[in-house]
Amino acid sequence: MRVQIAAANWKMNLTVREAEKLLEVLLGESYELTENQKVVFAVPAPYLTIAEEKIAKHSQMFIAAQNVYSKKSGAYTGEVSVTMLQSIGVDHVIIGHSERREYFGETDELIAGKVNICLETNITSIFCCGEALPVREVNQQNSYVSHQLEESLFYLPAEQIVKVVIAYEPIWAIGTGKTASSEQVQEMHAFIRSQIEKRYGIEEAQSISILYGGSVKAANAKEIFSQPDVDGGLVGGASLIAEEFIAIIKALKV
Ligand code: 13P
């Protein structure tokens, strides 16, 4: 059974006090998570340690960084390394988010380097892929996403690719309130899984969690998550509102 994941991506939001308050409210709720479900909070880098401490007693909750560099240490001013994340107990990281690709010029090659270094240090990558609107408008989304997977993931051996979580985030649905329809989501998730199967085999394809991201909220989470190839969500805006994210966690498949 694939792990079902509700992942919050807070992006560059909240002060430390607001972040603490939000976590307190979220952790104060009772979820009855099954062994197959997990919750991940991708918090801004300055709050990683505080967030780690807060979730320490929650066995199915994890803290993620929103980015990491592809080198372990050295003269890379402003960057954060996997070694640093590991030293504070952070075991997940979002890699290749479309905002990093677009605003910070991250290439498929750099992203592949980040996936590699995470695998070396046993940090779980949440690898993001997804097309922009002009690509969808000409119905090229499958080949676009397939290319992203080829360039940054599909060189991995089978025993490594199964450690990666994939997040399909169509750029036109991020922060726009325009969610992809559950049919569009299922279609792409099934396509991604079929590509993994073609490359690696059915066992690998069936063991990788594929999350959907793009305007997920309490009102649509249940329907999206109930699609057969959707294993939860990577949530931006709605993860900053406690009652929204609580409902999203509760909408996970068991
Ligand atoms: P929104 O949920 O705000 O659309 O953001 C999605 C996202 O980019 C999560 O990584």
Check residue 178 and give its pLDDT: 82
Check residue 175 and give its pLDDT: 86
- Residue 177 — very low, low, confident or very high, per pLDDT cuts 50/70/90? confident
Residue 1 predicted with pLDDT over 90: no
User: Is 102 an annotated catalytic residue?
Assistant: no
CATH number (domain holding residue 93): 3.20.20.70
Residue 107 predicted with pLDDT over 90: yes
Residue 106 predicted with pLDDT over 90: yes
Quick one: the chain helix, strand, coil %, rounded to 5? 45, 15, 40
Domain count, the chain: 1
Q: How far apart are the first and last CA of the chain?
A: 10
Residue 214 Cα to ligand 1 middle (Å): 5
Average of per-residue pLDDT across 136-155:
96
Query: Is the CB of 42 inside a 6 Å radius of any atom of ligand 1?
Result: no
Q: What is the pLDDT of residues 208-227, one digit of tens each?
A: 999 999 999 999 999 999 99
Q: How far, in Å, CA of 193 to CA of 152, rounded?
A: 16
Residue 195 predicted with pLDDT over 90: yes
CB of 39 closer than 8 Å to CB of 126? no
Share of the chain above pLDDT 70, in %: 100
Check residue 204 and give its pLDDT: 97
Q: What is the pLDDT of residues 229-248, one digit of tens each?
A: 999 999 999 999 999 999 99
Average of per-residue pLDDT across 140-150:
97
- Which one of the listed residues 106, 169, 189, 244 is annotated catalytic? 169
Q: How far, in Å, CA of 254 to CA of 189, rounded?
A: 18
* Domain membership of residue 157 as a residue range: 4-250
Check residue 111 and give its pLDDT: 98
Mutation test residue for ligand 1: of 5, 67, 128, 216, the one with most atoms within 8 Å of CB? 216
Residue 176 predicted with pLDDT over 90: no
Average of per-residue pLDDT across 100-114:
97
Which residue's alpha carbon is nearest to atom 2 within ligand 1?
236
Check residue 143 and give its pLDDT: 98
**Number of other residues whose CB lies within 10 A of the CB of residue 54:** 20
Query: Is the CB of 170 inside a 6 Å radius of any atom of ligand 1?
Result: no
Check residue 34 and give its pLDDT: 95
User: Is 169 an annotated catalytic residue?
Assistant: yes
Cβ contacts of 8 within 8 Å, gap of 6 or more: 39, 40, 41, 42, 235, 239, 240, 245
Q: How far, in Å, CA of 153 to CA of 111, rounded?
A: 9
Average of per-residue pLDDT across 53-72:
96
Q: How many residues does the chain have?
A: 254
Burial label, 159 (beta-carbon count in 10 A; 0-12, 13-18, 19+): exposed
